[in-house]
């Protein structure tokens, strides 16, 4: 039995010891089951019920679906049910990263037919970072909207930092175990061994890590394919394994021992995030032979993991110009059995150090539209240094924006509700609602108050951009009010029983309103029927 938690009604234990009868349930074996195995057995878990509720964004069954996007062959339902979640998990098209030892977790689902999720990377380095700093980043990243968090610590106190992060995290936590394994052998890649890596996997799984990035696709035959690249191998995990392979001139132990890795992952229901160790690190290297050779290998490993009952998602690039982005999604769908795609950006140009949260958000929105399930954020510090809390905020907000834009474009039925709420608040000059409905209320309020700080300005029908005379939305409101008053007057005329104006009457009414507008000196607040229009 996993640790207990209180759902407000009773103490619930997430048992993994088998339900019912039939193959795949694990009955009689005494081993825990994964979300994938439950789904295949036709069992809807509490995690599946929870994520179904969240995916509907408070819509009720029967509510109109506001969708007009292009989904590129996805199967997005009008309403997400627990049964739909179960079916997607069973098919391997979605994952619910939920280590049985992460009792603090609020589950989330990652898949092509659900809302696009975002991940925030945190973690220390050998140069900078403390436990309190990394926990603070995690807490604020989740408040700003991160759906998962990866601890990429490579410095001291890796175990302690990770433990504090997991125990305080309501979202799934991912890691790259090879980083800690390398630290255990003094940072010498050649000294890594299967035994050290295996023990590290078990240690982190026992702590409650929900998904592992495993660079098992970096194979010895693929390394020469990177020789002609502009930026070589840019993945830390990929470069570590490439160095090990070359030093020993043998196949990666991650690849050779992959079935044994699956057994460890299955025991704790840790989800695979198969790492793209040969991803392109520059626009020039995008979509090359090394990248796609590794991707095809990840597809092979996906099927092995599925056979072992493990959940899998696939990591993707990287640096890819806009015209090559869709090919990445197409290749992944073709070779990886529609397992969820999880991409870093991609960055669409290399010319903007300090602004790579923007260069990557362009690519992230595009590939999210094409079908990527989760986007790994990029901060302004990318390629430059370790991000602080402010950088984490910028990265998370930027990527929430990209993910939402992708949801709109692919036609998620609930995505537009948020946009419509903000638009109505904006048009009706409900400033506080506009602030609070935005992705970053604090920044929106601060920008507004820089020039119009008084409380009375929160009810004004203008802002400092246009002022009271040139606000297009105020003018639009006044035009609408004037037209409504004119039509109401005509409908109340006893000579028009049906309330319908003739073309001549409409023309006369428009001419009259135009004359009043000119007579008023161009001020939109002209009198209609003896009363002022507008404020």
Is residue 296 predicted with pLDDT exceeding 70? yes
**Average pLDDT estimate for 233-248:** 97
pLDDT digits (tens, 9 = 90+) for 388-418: 999 999 999 999 999 999 999 999 988 999 9
pLDDT digits (tens, 9 = 90+) for 361-374: 999 999 999 999 99
pLDDT digits (tens, 9 = 90+) for 297-346: 999 999 999 999 999 999 999 999 999 999 999 999 999 999 999 999 99
pLDDT for the residue numbered 7: 37
Element (H, E) at 11: strand 11-13
What is the spatial distance between Cα 364 and Cα 406, in angstroms, rounded to a whole number?
8
Is residue 147 predicted with pLDDT exceeding 50? yes
8 A C-beta contact, residue 274 and residue 294? no
pLDDT for the residue numbered 455: 80
Percentage of residues in the chain having pLDDT higher than 90: 70
pLDDT for the residue numbered 261: 98
pLDDT for the residue numbered 26: 42
Element (H, E) at 47: helix 46-55
DSSP reduced 3-state for 413: coil
Burial of 203 (0-12, 13-18, 19+ CB in 10 A): middle
pLDDT digits (tens, 9 = 90+) for 179-200: 999 999 999 999 999 999 999 9
pLDDT, greater one: 500 or 153: 153
**Average pLDDT estimate for 475-482:** 70
- Lowest pLDDT segment from 322-331, 375-384, 446-455: 446-455
**Average pLDDT estimate for 466-483:** 70
pLDDT for the residue numbered 62: 66
What is the spatial distance between Cα 18 and Cα 33, in angstroms, rounded to a whole number?
7
Percentage of residues in the chain having pLDDT higher than 70: 84
- Supply the DSSP string of 366-412, one letter for each residue: HHHHHT-SEEE---TTTTTS---HHHHHHHHHHHHHHHHHHHHHHT-
For the chain, give the mean pLDDT.
87
8 A C-beta contact, residue 212 and residue 251? no
What is the spatial distance between Cα 110 and Cα 340, in angstroms, rounded to a whole number?
7
Burial of 495 (0-12, 13-18, 19+ CB in 10 A): exposed
Is residue 530 predicted with pLDDT exceeding 50? no
pLDDT for the residue numbered 500: 60
Domains along the sequence of the chain with CATH: 83-407 (3.20.20.540), 470-535 (no CATH)
8 A C-beta contact, residue 325 and residue 362? no
pLDDT band at 522; cut points 50, 70, 90: low
Phi, psi of 281 (to 5 degrees): -105, 10
**Average pLDDT estimate for 96-116:** 98
What is the spatial distance between Cα 351 and Cα 77, in angstroms, rounded to a whole number?
40
- Lowest pLDDT segment from 34-43, 91-100, 450-459, 475-484: 475-484
- Lowest pLDDT segment from 221-225, 331-335, 438-442: 438-442
Element (H, E) at 213: strand 211-214
Cβ within 8 Å of residue 195, ≥6 positions away: none
Instruction: State in Å, rounded, how far the first CA of the chain is from the last one.
Output: 65
The pTM assigned to this predicted structure is 0.84
8 A C-beta contact, residue 363 and residue 322? yes
Alpha-carbon distances of 193 from 154, 155, 198, 357, rounded to whole Å = 18, 20, 9, 36
- Lowest pLDDT segment from 54-68, 149-163, 245-259, 434-448: 54-68
pLDDT for the residue numbered 3: 37
Cβ within 8 Å of residue 129, ≥6 positions away: 123, 153, 155, 161, 386
422: how many CB neighbours lie within 10 A of its CB? Answer: 16
């Amino acid at each position: 039995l996993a640790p207990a938690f209180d759902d407000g009604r009773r103490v619930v234990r997430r048992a993994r010891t088998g339900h019912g009868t039939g193959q795949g349930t694990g009955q009689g074996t005494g081993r825990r089951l994964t979300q994938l195995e439950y789904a295949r057995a036709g069992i809807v878990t509490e995690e599946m019920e929870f994520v179904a509720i969240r995916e509907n964004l408070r819509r009720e069954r029967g509510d109109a679906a506001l969708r007009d996007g292009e989904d590129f062959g996805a199967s997005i339902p009008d309403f997400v049910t627990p049964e739909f979640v179960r079916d997607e998990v069973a098919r391997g098209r979605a994952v619910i990263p939920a280590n049985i030892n992460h009792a603090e977790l609020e589950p989330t689902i990652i898949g092509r037919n659900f809302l696009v999720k975002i991940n925030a990377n945190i973690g220390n380095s050998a140069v900078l970072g403390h436990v309190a700093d990394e926990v603070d980043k995690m807490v604020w990243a989740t408040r700003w909207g991160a759906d998962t968090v990866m601890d990429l610590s490579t410095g001291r106190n890796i175990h302690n930092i990770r433990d504090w992060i997991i125990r305080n995290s309501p979202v799934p936590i991912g890691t790259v175990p090879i980083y800690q394994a390398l630290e255990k052998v003094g940072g010498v890649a050649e000294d890594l061994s299967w035994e050290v890596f295996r023990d590290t996997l078990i240690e982190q799984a026992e702590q409650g890590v929900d998904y592992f990035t495993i660079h098992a696709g970096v194979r010895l035959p693929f390394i020469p394919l990177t020789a002609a690249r502009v930026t070589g191998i840019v993945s830390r995990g990929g470069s570590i394994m490439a160095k090990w392979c070359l030093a020993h001139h043998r196949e990666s132990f991650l690849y050779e021992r992959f079935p044994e890795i699956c057994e460890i992952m299955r025991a704790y229901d840790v989800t695979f995030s198969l790492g793209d160790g040969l991803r392109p690190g520059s626009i020039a290297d995008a979509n090359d032979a090394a990248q796609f050779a590794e991707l095809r290998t990840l597809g092979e490993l996906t099927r092995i993991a599925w056979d072992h009952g493990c959940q899998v998602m696939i990591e993707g690039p990287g640096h890819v110009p806009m015209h090559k982005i869709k090919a990445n999604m197409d290749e992944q769908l073709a070779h990886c059995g529609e397992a969820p795609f999880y991409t870093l950006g991609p960055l669409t140009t290399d010319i903007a150090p300090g602004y790579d949260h923007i260069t990557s958000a362009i690519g992230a929105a595009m590939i999210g539209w094409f079908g990527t399930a989760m986007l790994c954020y990029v901060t302004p510090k990318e390629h430059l240094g370790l991000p602080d809390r402010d950088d984490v905020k910028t990265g998370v907000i930027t990527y929430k924006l990209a993910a939402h834009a992708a949801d709109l474009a692919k036609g998620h039925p609930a995505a537009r509700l948020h946009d419509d709420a903000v638009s109505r608040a904006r048009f009706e000059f409900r400033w506080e609602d506009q602030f609070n409905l935005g992705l970053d209320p604090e920044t929106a309020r601060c920008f507004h108050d820089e020039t119009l700080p008084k409380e009375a300005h929160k009810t004004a029908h203008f802002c400092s951009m246009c002022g009271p005379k040139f606000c297009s939305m105020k003018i639009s409101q006044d035009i609408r009010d004037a037209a409504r008053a004119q039509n109401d007057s005509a409908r109340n005329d006893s000579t028009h029983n049906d309330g319908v104006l003739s073309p001549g009457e409409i023309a006369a009414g428009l001419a009259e309103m135009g004359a009043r507008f000119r007579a008023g000196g161009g001020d939109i607040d002209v009198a209609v029927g003896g009363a002022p229009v507008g404020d």
